[in-house]
Amino acid sequence: AQSVTQLGSHVSVSEGALVLLRCNYSSSVPPYLFWYVQYPNQGLQLLLKYTTGATLVKGINGFEAEFKKSETSFHLTKPSAHMSDAAEYFCAVSDGAAGNKLTFGGGTRVLVKP
Partner 1 sequence: KAGVTQTPRYLIKTRGQQVTLSCSPISGHRSVSWYQQTPGQGLQFLFEYFSETQRNKGNFPGRFSGRQFSNSRSEMNVSTLELGDSALYLCASSFRAGGPGELFFGEGSRLTVL
- Give the nearer residue to partner 1 in terms of CB position, either 81 or 94: 94
- The CB-of-101 to partner 1 minimum distance in angstroms stands at 5
Four-point Cα dihedral 40, 43, 45, 51, nearest 10: 130
- Give the nearer residue to partner 1 in terms of CB position, either 41 or 84: 41
- Give the nearer residue to partner 1 in terms of CB position, either 17 or 64: 64
Q: How many C-beta atoms lie closer than 10 Å to residue 93's C-beta?
A: 23
Burial class for 94, CB neighbours closer than 10 Å (0-12, 13-18, 19+): buried
Q: Which residues bind partner 1 (CB under 8 A)?
A: 32, 36, 41-46, 49, 51, 90, 92, 94-107
- The CB-of-9 to partner 1 minimum distance in angstroms stands at 10
- The CB-of-43 to partner 1 minimum distance in angstroms stands at 3
